[in-house]
A and B are shown apart, each in its own frame.
Chain A
Amino acid sequence: MTEQQALYKYCLRMGDDALIHSYRLSEWCSNAPILEEDLALTNFSLDMIGRAQALLTYAGKIEGNGKTDDDLAYRRGEREYYNHLVMELPNGDFAYTIARLLFTSVFEYYFFSELTHSVDTSLSAIAAKTVKEVRYHMAHATDWMLRLGDGTEESHYRMQKAVNALWAYTGELFETDEATALLEDKNVAVDMAVIKKKWKEEIESVMKEAQLEVPEDVYMQTGSSKGVHTEHLGHILSEMQYLQRAYPDAIW
């Protein structure tokens, strides 16, 4: 694997995370429990679309075949997507959505904070922009986690259930592979061990305050770094890519 191939994959992984999580959050549009929440979740979705655009545009530039962000979003198959599995899981109830938002936004906050030190100036610039936005996602998710976890018997039960169900998908966030190892040596990518430690501390602190139990690390789901996904990603892509597949090169 060359450094160029590694960087291409690294950018796709970050870009796909943003794109697919954005897609899931957009499904809450007009379905959130209250209007304010509808606005919040769709605003996050918009932030993520912007991040996906920046990262996929850069990925296309790295690959060097003239692909745009749209080409990469609409013309890759499921096995060519590298988003973490947790991003593609169905929204479930509001507790699931919040648990995922907390787990991923805390991860992204520390990840992109570190990435601002990358020697790759395009990545460090996107990271600096992302950190500003992710802080709002993290604060919002934390707030709901506390309200629901330390709320009524029912809200506590459902929040704990969501946390337990999603826990097995959190290990994958910190996985490393050939691409990340190569880029870390060049000070382009971040050290995942550092991120994992910070993530764990923050999540444990929020969960404790929310009166929730931190599940034990037993079995962690994996596969996305090789493009192996859950059954859910294919369904997302079949809807998202329908128009470009049915009418290639359609524009308006």
Chain B
Amino acid sequence: MVIRAHTKEEVFKILSVIPDPEIPVVSIEEMGMLRDVLITDKGYEVILTPTYTGCPAMGIIEQDIKMTLNANGVSPVTVKLVYDPAWTTDSMSDQAKEKLRVYGIAPPLHSSCNQDIFSHNIIRCPHCGSSDTVMQSRFGATACKALYKCNDCKEPFEYFKCH
């Protein structure tokens, strides 16, 4: 028997501190990956959506969710992945985008559902704010980022691509 000791809001509050393993300055909630928490007779079910289908961080996030909730006395926990509606960079909060910028990653401009995804929108340097930047590589250390360089402060930086 499960004792419903925790409300949905309480579970959300516990989950809201879990960081994104790749970009630890933002939480999975701020990233827009946390969709829902269902409380049933069988326990707590956390509904999660992946950013990219192949994102290798998903397994770690699932573990983090289970461990964090268990540590707070919330159990048993299951994590369910859903694809609909598909995650987009628009799911990220403005607060999360600002945190990304401070962290050194240029935040996504908008959800680029237009055809020309490599069209050269101006990506501002997260370090000095200059708009004189150039793309070095369309793909970076993770599928969600491209590599840029700032022509003013000469610093390289990552850009979180629109998705």
User: Which residues of A does B touch, CB under 8 Å?
Assistant: 35-36, 39-40, 43, 46-51, 53-54, 121-122, 124-126, 128-130, 132-133, 135-136, 139-140, 143
Q: With A36-B137, A50-B54 in contact, is A136–B84 under 8 Å at CB?
A: no
Q: Quick one: which of B54, B86, B137, B161 contacts A47, CB cutoff 8 A?
A: B54
Bound complex: CA A122 to CA B81 (Å): 12
Whether the Cβ atoms of A128 and B83 lie closer than 8 Å is yes
B52, CB-defined interface residue at 8 Å: yes
Q: A135-B117, A136-B117 are in contact. Are A49 and B84 (CB under 8 A)?
A: no
Please, which residues of chain B bring their CB within 8 A of the CB of A47? Answer: 52-54, 143
Give B contacts to A, CB under 8 Å. Answer: 50, 52-56, 82-88, 115-118, 136-141, 143, 147, 161, 163
Chain A at the B interface: SS class = helix
| B53 A51 Cβ-Cβ under 8 A | yes
Of B55, B85, B116, B161, which contacts A128 at CB under 8 A?
B85
Main secondary structure of the interface of B (DSSP, over half): loop
Most buried by A among B87, B118, B137, B139: B139
Assuming the A-B contacts A36-B139, A136-B117, are A50 and B53 also in contact, with contact meaning beta carbons closer than 8 angstroms in the complex? yes
Q: A36-B137, A43-B139, A140-B138 are in contact. Are A50 and B86 (CB under 8 A)?
A: no
Knowing A46-B56, A136-B117, A139-B117, the reply to whether A128 touches B139 (Cβ < 8 A) is no
* A47 CA to B144 CA, complexed, in Å: 10
Q: A40-B137, A47-B52, A132-B88 are in contact. List 20 more A-B contacts (CB 8 A).
A: A35-B137, A39-B137, A39-B139, A40-B138, A40-B139, A46-B54, A46-B143, A47-B53, A47-B143, A49-B54, A50-B50, A53-B54, A122-B83, A124-B84, A125-B82, A125-B83, A125-B85, A128-B86, A136-B161, A139-B118
**Chain A residues in 8 Å Cβ range of B52:** 46-47, 50, 133
A80 CB to nearest chain B CB (Å)? 23
Measured in the bound complex, the distance between the Cα atoms of B54 and A245 in whole Å is 25
29 A-B residue pairs with CB within 8 Å: A35-B137, A36-B136, A36-B137, A39-B141, A40-B137, A40-B138, A46-B52, A46-B56, A48-B54, A50-B53, A50-B54, A51-B53, A51-B54, A53-B54, A121-B84, A122-B83, A124-B84, A125-B82, A125-B85, A129-B87, A132-B86, A132-B88, A132-B163, A133-B53, A135-B117, A136-B138, A136-B161, A139-B116, A143-B118
